[in-house]
Structure 1
Amino acid sequence: MNRHKNFIFHAALWLLIWVTAWIFTGSEIQFLDENSLVFVFQIAVIASLIYFTIPQLLLKKKYVLFTVVSVAIVIVATLILTNIIGDPLLGVNSDFGAGPDLGRRPGPRFENGPRMEANRRPPSRFFINLLLIVIAYVIATLVEIFLFAQRKEEEMIINKNEALQTELKLLKSQINPHFLFNALNNIYALSAIDAVRTQKSISYLSDMLRYVLYECEQEIVPLYKEIDYIENYIKLFSLKSSKKYPITTTFSIEDQNVPIVPMLLIPFLENALKHSNIEKIEGTFINLKISSFADGINFELENSKPEHSIVKDDVGGIGIENVKKRLAILYPDRHELVINETSLAFKVNLKLQLHE
């Protein structure tokens, strides 16, 4: 379909050029008689270019064959055109015969120089036809190459965007099963202790799954939904024990509808709950602070770090790297992630700039 549109474009372009030239020559019928066939042959060679030589040769990187075929098409078209029109200057129907030498007389002689002819002959009709067809062929080739390059660039941008979307979906798929695995482990541990709290945990998990399955399909969600998810996660975790875990949360939210990509913050909390040894309670802590303003969000999380590293399970370990990849894709040049680790604590500070 694009080839048809391109052909119509070139035909209209050369029609406009010839009509303009005809108007500037005084709209004489003789001009049309002498050049209408030239226009037809220009369109013919352009059609051969668009429908054959470019798609079958040039785009398949057969450059030598493309050059040979193009030269052949131009020369053959010029020969046929010249034989049809003829050359009135020569008095024959071909450019290869010589007519009578009419009206020639010697011209003036320059001092100590050769005598010049009074009537110099203009370029032959063959040369003029060749020039006009070559110009049309070259212009059409350049336009087609430009349009092809433009289409390839657009396809590259589309493919890049599709690749980014695919990667984002993959990253989300890595988050959700990991969360579900941890939540089910918590409920399993709780079921052996207290049935009432198990029911509450299932209720929390239901709300969280609703968020993951439905809300996370959106590109962005209001910040309050992400915070609700975090609070439910902490409640679900806290039901594991009758004792109060040393977890403090501070939310300073100017606008609860500030947009944020879903499931972006929870991996940091998962990491803190998993590696802070918070179940020990004594000598441990998790401090979470989220603040928002008109143009951004600040996320701060600090958790205690045990003297000896602990391994909860073999699953996990992908959360932080996952978030870094998502930030690079979704907030390029609009985020600042600082992670500080000491022998006693692990601290994360994330700043998001919401607008360019």
Structure 2
Amino acid sequence: MNRHKNFIFHVALWLLIWATAWIFSSSDLQFVSENGMALIFQIVVIAILIYYTIPQLLLKKKYMWFTLVSIATVFIVTLVLSNLVSTPNLGMNPDFGPGPGIGSRPHFEDGPPLVANRRPPSRFFINLLLIAIAYAIATLVELFLFAQKKEEEIIINKNEALQTELKLLKSQINPHFLFNALNNIYALSAIDSGRTQQSISYLSDMLRYVLYECEQEIVPLYKEIDYIENYIKLFSLKSSKIYPITTTFSIENQNVEIVPMLLIPFLENALKHSNIEKIKGTFINLKITATSNFIDFEIENSKPEVKIIKDDIGGIGIDNVKKRLAILYPDRHHLTINKTSQAFKVNLKLQLHD
């Protein structure tokens, strides 16, 4: 269908060009009779180009065959046209070529001819020029339209690939979160059944956020912070002791937006590797600062002297975040991870708008 539209476009283009030339040639019928066949043969070569040589040869990368067929087409059509009609004068003064003034030469009034031996261009040469120009312009236009279409397809495919990858990353986040939360509730159920009910309430709020809010591309920052606070509360219910976890939130606008579940993997990582259950000599410090266009997330946790051997579940956390940042905040984020013998510190700076 696009080929038909392209063909109609080229026909309309050359009709406009010849109509303009006709207007500037005093709009006489002689111009039409001399150049009408040239227009028809231009349309013929354009049709051959659009319906055969480009789709069957050029787009299939048969460049040599395309070149040979194009040259042959232009010459054959030109030869046929030259044997059918006389040379088009393109609105020229008859004194410069065939027509009523054939044989005469341009001269000043009552003076000698300016160029005594000058001959007009041959009929074949003029027809070849007309056909070749039409063929070349049509080729360039078709290549431009094809390149534009391919670029649009690449953009669409890239967006679809990004959406697929994001859905995959989200599917990795949610089961990981649920596994950790259920583990915490299971551990708590052996200690205090009353607090288990409270933890289930926290889990219910968190699941509501994960299952419904996280389906949105972006969420208000306060909902992400509520999720983080519920996560810490759920974790803290594991023991009657107070865990050394401090949180500081400095938010100018609670409705500033962020992609969901972007920050929680850093908290999960800190809870997992800080040995916070030991309480003495351990710590987790979490700080979030936000303006209308900027979010600064910082979390630091202690590192035990002896490395803790944990299960492999959740190892995707930080890598997951890096992939999501690359997709969702390209060139608008800065992630710094510093490790020392005593602490592990993460700082994430997000620019929300270009």
Query: What is the TM-score when the length of structure 2 is the normalising length?
Result: 0.89
The equivalent position to 2:163 in structure 1, one of 165, 168, 177, is: 165
How far the C-alpha of 1:352 sits from its partner, in A, is 1.3
Alpha-carbon distance change, 30 to 308 in structure 1, aligned in 2, over 3 angstroms:
same
Residue type matched to 1:288 in 2?
L
**How far apart, CA to CA, are the structure 2 residues paired with 1:72 and 1:336?**
59
* Alignment-derived partner of residue 226 in structure 2: 228
* Alignment-derived partner of residue 195 in structure 1: 193
Does 1:66 pair with 2:66?
Answer: yes
* Alignment-derived partner of residue 264 in structure 2: 266
* Alignment-derived partner of residue 352 in structure 1: 350
**How far apart, CA to CA, are the structure 2 residues paired with 1:37 and 1:51?**
21
Does 1:278 pair with 2:276?
Answer: yes
How far the C-alpha of 1:271 sits from its partner, in A, is 0.3
Alpha-carbon distance change, 128 to 247 in structure 1, aligned in 2, over 3 angstroms:
same
Deviation sequence 1:78-135 (CA, Å, 0-9, x none): 222222224699xxxxxxxxxxxx979xxxxxxxxxxx99454322222211110111
**How far apart, CA to CA, are the structure 1 residues paired with 2:216 and 2:65?**
52
Secondary structure, aligned partner of 2:144: helix
The equivalent position to 1:326 in structure 2, one of 324, 328, 339, is: 324
Secondary structure, aligned partner of 1:244: coil
Residue type matched to 1:22 in 2?
W
Aligned length: 334
The equivalent position to 1:121 in structure 2, one of 119, 122, 130, is: 119
Alpha-carbon distance change, 352 to 87 in structure 1, aligned in 2, over 3 angstroms:
closer
* Alignment-derived partner of residue 32 in structure 2: 32
Residue type matched to 1:221 in 2?
V
Alpha-carbon distance change, 219 to 325 in structure 1, aligned in 2, over 3 angstroms:
same
* Alignment-derived partner of residue 48 in structure 2: 48
Alpha-carbon distance change, 276 to 81 in structure 1, aligned in 2, over 3 angstroms:
same
Aligned-residue CA RMSD in angstroms?
2.1
Secondary structure, aligned partner of 1:149: helix
How far the C-alpha of 1:255 sits from its partner, in A, is 0.7
* Alignment-derived partner of residue 184 in structure 1: 182
Contact 2:87 2:126 (8 Å CA) reproduced: no
Secondary structure, aligned partner of 2:304: coil
Deviation sequence 1:247-271 (CA, Å, 0-9, x none): 1111111110011111110000000
1:53-132 to 2 correspondences below 5 Å: 53-86=53-86, 118=116, 120-132=118-130
Residue type matched to 1:193 in 2?
I
Contact 2:296 2:347 (8 Å CA) reproduced: yes
* Alignment-derived partner of residue 339 in structure 2: 341
Q: Unaligned stretches of 5+ in structure 2? A: 90-101, 105-113
Secondary structure, aligned partner of 1:21: helix
**Percent of residue pairs identical:** 80
* Alignment-derived partner of residue 93 in structure 1: none
Deviation sequence 1:177-226 (CA, Å, 0-9, x none): 11111111111222222222222222211211111111111111000000
**How far apart, CA to CA, are the structure 2 residues paired with 1:88 and 1:248?**
89
Secondary structure, aligned partner of 2:170: helix
**How far apart, CA to CA, are the structure 1 residues paired with 2:44 and 2:212?**
58
Secondary structure, aligned partner of 1:350: strand
How far the C-alpha of 1:299 sits from its partner, in A, is 1.1
Q: Unaligned stretches of 5+ in structure 1? A: 90-101, 105-115
The equivalent position to 1:214 in structure 2, one of 212, 215, 226, is: 212
Secondary structure, aligned partner of 1:264: coil
